[in-house]
Structure 1
Amino acid sequence: METIRFAIEDGIATLTLNYPERKNALSIPMRGEIGEAIRQVRADESVRALILTGAGTDFCSGGDISSMQVEIDAPQGRRRLQQAHGWLEDLIQLDVPVIAAVNGAAYGAGFSLALTADIILATPRARFGLPFLRMGLIPDCGVFYTLPRMIGLQRAKALMFSMRELNAEAAQDLGIVMEIVSEESLAGRAQALARAFTEASPVAVGLTKQALNASLNQDLHTMLAMEADGQGIAFSTGYRREAVDRFMAKQPLRYRWPD
């Protein structure tokens, strides 16, 4: 890994974009290494949460503009993005929770990458924007799927057409950012949330995330069936049996959300 740092420790995977001299722009090599890291997360059953963050003072400034100087025809442009779509879909569909820790710029594809997370933490320095139209491009990296589901269709259109930059507070008001924390606290808060999931039932967490991801595309009957099937699986786990025993014995339950 040359453009990212990636590690798995105590059930927590951490993927750090590591191209700080270019504000962690998504170069072609970086996209390939992110894909490899996501494959490792999917293959490792010990992983209970994934943290996405950026080295230095920024999360990700978007696509690497220097790589766009060469002439690209329509089929080449399509294939270029399709290479990232495989791991983007895998990232969105991960059974484990994904936590994005955003400081500084999260522009373009960097904003799109943050939106793949289940929880977005931001510092007061965080800035979000989708300036694709300025370059004659359309928003990409899954944002047509993620953003309307998060903030609604009209607001998603407004952000894409206006290319408006959002500070951390504005992003929180729209429901994009869950918490605003200081720069000094960002890594620690992301770790605290990730550690909480190491004490949760991986089966129940995975089933919950799958149902939520499906919910906006399915009818009531389908979601009720998914709920019944998932709860049947959850009831059969050793984690559920242990939790009931702890409850009956008036012992503290393992999974707690950190304050």
Structure 2
Amino acid sequence: MIDEPVLLTDLTDGVLTLTLNRPERRNAITRQMWTLLRDRLRDVEPGHDVRAVVLTGAGGAFSSGADLTATTGMDEFPDPNEEIRSVNDTVKLLHDLPVPTIAKVRGVAAGAGWNLALGCDFVVATPESRFCQIFARRALSVDTGGSWLLPRLVGLQQAKRLTMLADMIGADEAHDLGLVTWLRPDTEIDGFVAALAARLAAGPPVALAQTKSLIHYGIDRTLGEALAGEAAAQAVNLSAPDVLEAFAAFAEKRDPVYRRTPVAER
């Protein structure tokens, strides 16, 4: 019997789908999975074949979080600095990815699994999905970017409530808090995400990459710094052929078709 890979990859029409594939463990993330995900994300550059990324889980769950089953006693815990380095590299790569990212969530998204979803640009979930910052239940503090993401998404008090109490919340509450972008029935979520990913993949890759970066880091800048960053980004856009294609398409009353060429070649 051949074991299934723990991370499934599919690249179709510019959309890279990454599927956490341990359904028997509700896609609990192992060290190997962190490494595979990190290595795959490293290959993604704007303007290449990958124009959008979908992150999801197999078997009706997104991810129950990091897999802690291998450590049953304190003496068996690995070097935390070594462990967290690989995890943090993966989280940072996902957050900084220069293409749009979508988390497609069915079932549970807990702990590191939920924070991976929150690290995506958009979260699409089913009404049956459930979410939990489970760390405190394991005598752990929040990690995988949750301490940075949650206050920015929901404010300080709600971030403290979610992490310190570690309550499981439903999809409706997550949506009301701004932690889910869209809710779609289970029978519709695949088609909705496919259409969304296709729309993003058809967009101008350089402009989308710069817009994403400006929004991510503008929150920590002054208005003057944000304006300077926007001006620098527009200078890059205006030197790329994407702008000529957009203007031509507008004049010709057609949809633009952006070339899949690396930024360095422009």
Q: TM-score range by the shorter chain?
A: over 0.9
TM-score calculated relative to the size of structure 1: 0.93
| Residues 9 and 79 of structure 1: CA distance in aligned 2, closer, same or farther (over 3 Å) | same
Shift of 1:184: 1.7
Shift of 1:64: 1.1
| Residues 72 and 83 of structure 1: CA distance in aligned 2, closer, same or farther (over 3 Å) | farther
Structure 1 unmatched ranges of 5 or more: none
Structure 1, residues 72-104: CA drift from partner, whole Å, max 9, x if none?
589812221112111211110011011000010
Shift of 1:3: 0.8
| Residues 199 and 134 of structure 1: CA distance in aligned 2, closer, same or farther (over 3 Å) | same
- Pick aligned residue for 1:195 from 182, 198, 204: 198
Give the number of equivalent residue pairs.
255
Residue 119 of structure 1: aligned partner: 122
1:27 and 1:67 in contact (8 A); partners too = no
**CA distance, structure 1, for counterparts of residue 74 and residue 178 of structure 2:** 38
| Residues 72 and 172 of structure 1: CA distance in aligned 2, closer, same or farther (over 3 Å) | farther
The residue type equivalent to 1:4 in the other structure is L
1:13 and 1:41 in contact (8 A); partners too = no
Kindly report the root-mean-square deviation, in angstroms, between the aligned alpha carbons of the 2 structures: 1.9
Structure 2 unmatched ranges of 5 or more: 259-266
The residue correspondences of 1:89-238 to structure 2 (distance < 5 A) are: 89-238=92-241
Structure 1, residues 97-139: CA drift from partner, whole Å, max 9, x if none?
1100001000111111111100000001110111211111011
**CA distance, structure 2, for counterparts of residue 92 and residue 211 of structure 1:** 13
Residue 242 of structure 2: aligned partner: 239
Shift of 1:42: 4.0
SS in 2 for 1:41: coil
SS in 1 for 2:246: helix
TM-score calculated relative to the size of structure 2: 0.90
The residue type equivalent to 2:137 in the other structure is R
Structure 1, residues 25-78: CA drift from partner, whole Å, max 9, x if none?
011221111112212324982111000000001000011121232435898122
SS in 2 for 1:231: helix
**CA distance, structure 2, for counterparts of residue 43 and residue 208 of structure 1:** 12
2:95 and 2:119 in contact (8 A); partners too = yes
Which aligned segments of 4 or more residues in structure 1 are displaced greater than 4 angstroms? 72-75, 252-255
Q: Percent same amino acid at aligned positions?
A: 35
Range moving further from structure 2, 12-21 or 193-202:
193-202
